[in-house]
Each structure stands twice: as C-alpha cells, then as structure tokens.
Amino acid sequence: MAPENSLKDQRHPQQDRDRNTLNRLLREEPNALNWAELARLRIRYAGFPGSRDIQKDLDKLLEKWGVTEAQLFEKTREIHATQKIYTVRTNKKEDWT
C-alpha cells in the first residue's frame, strides 16, 4: 500500500510565479506572448498531480479565448516559427582573471 502522503495533491515548485502569470493572462487579451505563456503553463501542468486551482484556471482561459488545447499549440508553433518570444536577459560576463 502506498504511503498516505503520495495520495495527496502536490504543490508545484513554480506555483507562486505561475499564479502571478496566470492572473495576468486572465486580465489581458491574447497576444503572441500571452499565447506562448498559456501554452507553456499548459505543458508544465499537464498530468501534474496537484495545483488544481491553476489547472482549472488554465482550462477557463482556453474557454475564454475560444480555443482548444490543440489549437493553442498549433497557434504557438506558428508564433515561435516567425517570432522570438522569449529572450535571455543576462549581464553575466565570464571573468577569467
């Protein structure tokens, strides 16, 4: 028999940051970045055993924006093929001294 803790929902380590992103998406209209963020979060939480509130809001957002998950992924593939949505911001320089 599995230990009791393994039956409980888990809290995703990025849940707080993702909740902030999701709250922003729920307030804003779709645009290239927002489509990409929704797809990223759908992938992150797919099959995750917990964070049910986030998963529910991701479903709500798909409905609000009028797309299925398959349409979302198709749309974001097109966006990523033609635009650079995410960029790495760093000021780190290697110091070999």
Q: How large is the average pLDDT for residues 91-97?
A: 58
Which residues, in sequence order, are CB contacts of 80 under 8 Å at separation 6+? 36
The answer to whether the CB of 36 falls within 8 A of the CB of 86 is yes
pLDDT at position 91 is 64
Query: Tens digit of pLDDT for each residue in 35-85?
Result: 999 999 999 999 999 999 999 999 999 999 999 999 999 999 999 999 998
User: Comparing C-alpha atoms, which of 50, 58, 12, 70 is closest to residue 34?
Assistant: 58
pLDDT at 97: 46
What is the Cα gyration radius of the chain? Answer: 17
The pLDDT, as a whole number, for residue 9 is 87
Confidence check: pLDDT of 4 > 50: no
What is the mean pLDDT of the segment spanning 21-39? 97
Which single residue is written with the structure tokens 């099959």?
47
Question: Which residue, chain included where needed, has tokens 């990523």?
Answer: 80
